[in-house]
Amino acid sequence: MEKTGYNRVCDRTERKEERVRLRNLKTGEIGLSFGCTMEGATIQVELENGELDSWSPEDCEEA
């Protein structure tokens, strides 16, 4: 996900309280965004099984 995509996901997640559905390109896992870490440039996601994870924007795309 390019920087503008990361910013768009974070804007929707943080400001509009919208959970964006994402797919991890490395693992194939699907998750819903619930936060962003600007200093670490990661997206916090809740996986379909309820576990929490953080993904690098380069490793994910909107699903």
Per-residue DSSP letters for 14-56?
A: HTS-PPPEEEETTT--EEEEEEEETTTTEEEEEETTS-EEEE-
pLDDT at 20: 97
**For a pLDDT cut of 90, what percent of the chain falls above it?**
84
Q: Rounded to two decimals, what is the model's pTM?
A: 0.89
| Of 44, 37, 55, the residue nearest 19 (C-alpha) | 44
For 6-34, what is the mean pLDDT?
96
pLDDT at 3: 76
Mean residue pLDDT of the chain comes to 93
Q: What is d(CA 45, CA 37) in angstroms, rounded to the nearest whole number?
A: 11
Domain residue ranges in the chain: 3-57
For 32-60, what is the mean pLDDT?
93
Answer with the residue of higher pLDDT: 57 or 3.
57
